[in-house]
Each structure stands twice: as C-alpha cells, then as structure tokens.
Amino acid sequence: MLEVEGLVKRFNDGRVVALDGVSFDVAEGRLFSLLGPSGCGKTTALRCIAGLEQPDAGRIVVDGRTLFSAAEGRSVPTNRRALGMVFQSHAIWPHLSVFGNAAFPLVSAPRRRRPSKREVAVRVGRILDAVHLGGLAGRPASDLSGGQQQRLALARALVTEPRLLLLDEPLSSLDLQLREEMRLELKRLQRELGVTTVYVTHDQLEALALSSLVGVMRDGRLEQVGRPREVYQRPATRFVARFVGASNLIEGLLERQEGDGTVLVRTPHGVLRARSHSARPAGARVFVVVRPEHVALEVGSENGASDAWSGTVVTRAFLGSAVDHVVSLGDTELRARVPAGVSIRPGTQVRISFASGACALVDGDARDAG
C-alpha cells in the first residue's frame, strides 16, 4: 500500500544527511512504526511522505499512486496527497466545538469536493462515536481533557477517510497514565477502522505495543525492520539491542556453531549458548544479548546449576511488578529482572543462570561500538 524506496534527504547544503537511502513497505491496514532516538531521521521520513519536505532522491508511492519520484521529477503537493496527519501538538481550534473541529477538513474543502451538510453530519458523527466523543459533539473543544483533545485530533485526521494516516509522536505530550490509556485506544481504533498508518515515536513500549512492523532508525538509516517480538527477541545489531528495551551485552568469541542454529560463545565468565540465524567463522568477536527478564538469580555461591555464574548484587530497584538487580561479575555488571516477591540485598552472593533459548547473537562491528 505504501512503498518508500531509497529516500535521501540532506540539510545545510548537503552537510547533514537526515535520510540515507531509507526504504520500507507498509501493507494495507497495517501500522508501521519508525522508532529511534532524536535526530535519527524518523520525523524527516514522515514529513517527506506528507510532502512537507522535498527528498533529494527516492520514490514514494501510496496505493499505486506516485506521490514523489526524484527520477521522474514528480512531487504531488501536500494538499493533494489525501493523507491524514496528527502531530505532537493537538492543534485544536479553541473557538470551535468538538463537532466543528472534527468537521473542519470537510467544510473547508474546495466547493466541488465539499460534502453536503447531511453527509458531513453523518461522517463526523460516525468518527466521533469511533473515538468515544459522540456525546460531546456540542461541547467547546477547549473544555476537553488532554486525552479527549488527542482523540479529537485523531477524529479530525480520520474524517476525510484517508488512505494513509501519519502520526508524529501524538502521545508525547500526555502524562504516563493517559499515554498508556491512549495507546490501547489508538490500537483499538486503528484495527477497527483498518486505516494504514505510519507512526513515529522514540518510545519503545509504544512501538512494540502498537505496531504490526517496527523499523528501528539510527543516523538516517534503518537498522532493522521486523515484527515487534522479532525486533525485541532477535535484535540485528548492538544498537537495536540497546535501544529496544533493556539488555545485557556480553562480549565473547564464537567457539562453535551447531546445526540447529545454536552457537557456543566463549566469554570471560564461561560458555554461553545463543541463537544465531547467520553463519559466522569460529573465533569471530560477537556479543550475546540477554534481556534482564531472562536472567535468573539464586542466593548462594555453591550448589547451583553447573553452568551458573557467580556474582554479587550491587544494587536493586523496585519497579512495581518486578525488581531489577544489578549483579557484579568482577569487571562486568548484569541486570536481572525478577518477580516483585524476590528482593535480594546488595552485597549478597548469587548464582546467575540464563533462560534456555533466550540469548541472541549480534556482531561486534565498529559502527555498533559505544
């Protein structure tokens, strides 16, 4: 449905490369998240799709219609791309009612494309019901709560029935509880309406919870594109492992690769088994990725599992549903996330073991250093 091919965008007379050959596809009815830190190029990519930025190279196609092609010298103006857009600011018209805000894109359309008053009422009523604002149609928009204003901004973007919805960190201005509520609401709404969506965020939880596919960006490039579970459990690079959730990165040398995709990695603390989907030569420098929730702790330094490692708890933090422990193994520290009922005092000797099949492998290349 959406095809983005080889997008390049430079600023400051070419000195700053915001996008460096970005390509991805989004199937109809799917939500694709562009996830990454500030300055990685994710918002620039969204603005290029919207027509608010002119790429230096590449191609953008929506539903078979070419919106931009550098090779063809084609660029459709923003107001003719028929896209829905919601940005960080709600941009609510305070002097209009809820109905008036939602209806604005319809009643302000050119006369030849403007729906009748009856059709406006039907479409606005339907979309306000979908975002749970149907009973507030006559209320001044300025009287709405933050979450309600965010839903109104979504309604205004959806009332034109766009083929593609673009969302640029729409929940970032909300407090934590409201953001979590709106995350679920947005997922419900997107699935019910079936609108193809590109969602830009720096929040890993948002991307994992909302997306059909996640594209992790860094320095203007896509580091990895995959389903949320795949990106979390099998990161392609050290950057992805670090950025998408907490992780332990344990350096070692690949000792042996077995036929079932399991590899043995020799580390300073012992041998680890990890999953790998690509061939690497013996002796290659690699990193084993272990999520904190896959690290088990047992009090005591003896009589544990034969492959367990010994360490000392340095600190702990209560997180509500879990307790994070930092364990020192000499020059290495590992994070272990255990159920809330387990809390081990700092200074306690523990044995560490790793959940079977939960370790992934990434290369130790220079670009991922740091």
The residues, any chain, with a CB within 8 Å of residue 215's CB and separated by 6 or more, are 24, 32, 33, 34, 35, 222, 224, 225
d(CA 363, CA 147): 42
Q: Which pLDDT score is estimated for 156?
A: 94
Six token digits for residue 26: 């989004």
All structural domains of the chain with their residue ranges? 2-233, 246-368
d(CA 249, CA 312): 18
Q: Which pLDDT score is estimated for 370?
A: 44
Burial class from Cβ neighbours inside 10 Å (0-12, 13-18, 19+) for residue 268 reads exposed
- Per-residue pLDDT 10s for the chain (370 aa) are 999 999 999 999 989 999 999 999 999 999 999 999 999 999 999 999 999 999 999 999 999 999 999 999 999 999 899 999 998 777 888 999 999 999 999 999 888 889 999 999 999 999 999 999 999 999 999 999 988 998 999 999 999 999 999 999 988 878 888 888 888 888 988 998 899 999 999 999 999 999 999 999 999 999 999 999 999 999 999 999 999 989 999 999 999 988 777 899 999 998 999 988 788 889 999 999 999 999 999 998 665 555 789 999 999 999 999 999 999 998 899 999 999 999 999 999 999 999 878 899 998 654 554 4
C-alpha atoms less than 13 angstroms from C-alpha of 197 in its C-beta half-sphere: 31
Name residue 326's amino acid.
V
Six token digits for residue 260: 């079932």
Say whether 246-368 and 2-233 share the same fold: no
**In terms of pTM, does the model score above 0.85?**
yes
CATH class label, 246-368:
mainly beta
Q: Which pLDDT score is estimated for 204?
A: 94
Question: 2-233 is classed in which CATH architecture?
Answer: 3-Layer(aba) Sandwich (3.40)
